[in-house]
Amino acid sequence: MDPRFASGSGPKPYSSGGVGSRFVSSDALEEAQQKKEEERRAAYARTGQAPPPTEDDQPYDPRTLYERLQAQKAAKQEAFDEKYKLSNQFRGIDDEESVFLSDVQDERRREEAEKKKKELEELKAFRLSLPYTTCLVTLHATRDARRAQSCHAQESHAASSKAATNSDEQAGSNSSAEITVPKSAAEKATGDPIAPTSER
């Protein structure tokens, strides 16, 4: 026999005290769970977040784990598709933005009206100063045109007089050719065209 058991010191292997000390009642378990839950809620309260639901808070779902995961996956895919759908990419203009855009448009119209008014005033001032300038330009243009016309007239007169001179020269040369006949030797000596060329 084991000397420890013989003397009576030490734990006895089959004593009721050993089994009883390892037994925990359901009240103690519930107390421990409540204490743990309070600590968890206090920790989430310090961070400012809501604690996630526990399994006890969720309703009973008779589906298998695979079916539940497939349902979650389909829900996530649907949310993703909805988020990135083309019609959801663009949002409408709210009231503040529409007021701002209308103000910008009014400002642009005002600036364009001022610009147009200024251009019209400058154009009017230019047109008022235009008659004097136009007269000068017209005067210079008329003078230049007259000069060009007179030069052209002089050139045409010179050309016509030259042509007339040329025709007169041709006519004169033709008439002198008709008038002038070759002189004979007697004619050249005496200078008398009727003088006989030879004595008979």
Assign 22 a pLDDT band (cuts: 50, 70, 90). Answer: confident
| Mean pLDDT, all residues of the chain | 75
CA dihedral sign of residues 157, 159, 160, 166: positive
- Return the percentage of the chain with pLDDT > 90, whole number: 27
Phi, psi of 129 (to 5 degrees): -85, -5
Where in the chain are the domains?
95-166
Torsion of CA 113, 115, 117, 122, to 10 degrees: -170
* Cα–Cα distance measured from residue 119 to residue 113, given in angstroms and rounded to the nearest whole number: 10
Per-residue pLDDT, 190: 66
Lowest mean pLDDT among 142-146, 171-175, 193-197: 171-175
Per-residue pLDDT, 129: 83
* Cα–Cα distance measured from residue 24 to residue 99, given in angstroms and rounded to the nearest whole number: 72
CA dihedral sign of residues 111, 117, 118, 120: positive
Asked if residue 41 lies in contact with residue 52, where contact means CB atoms within 8 angstroms, the answer is no
Q: Give the residue among 50, 70, 48, 68 at the shortest CA–CA distance from 59.
A: 68
* Cα–Cα distance measured from residue 45 to residue 41, given in angstroms and rounded to the nearest whole number: 6
Tell which wins on pLDDT, 138 or 90: 90
Asked if residue 68 lies in contact with residue 61, where contact means CB atoms within 8 angstroms, the answer is yes
Tell which wins on pLDDT, 195 or 64: 64
Per-residue pLDDT, 177: 45
* Cα–Cα distance measured from residue 52 to residue 56, given in angstroms and rounded to the nearest whole number: 11
* Cα–Cα distance measured from residue 104 to residue 113, given in angstroms and rounded to the nearest whole number: 14
4-17 per-position pLDDT tens digit = 555 555 555 555 55
**Longest Cα separation, the chain:** 217
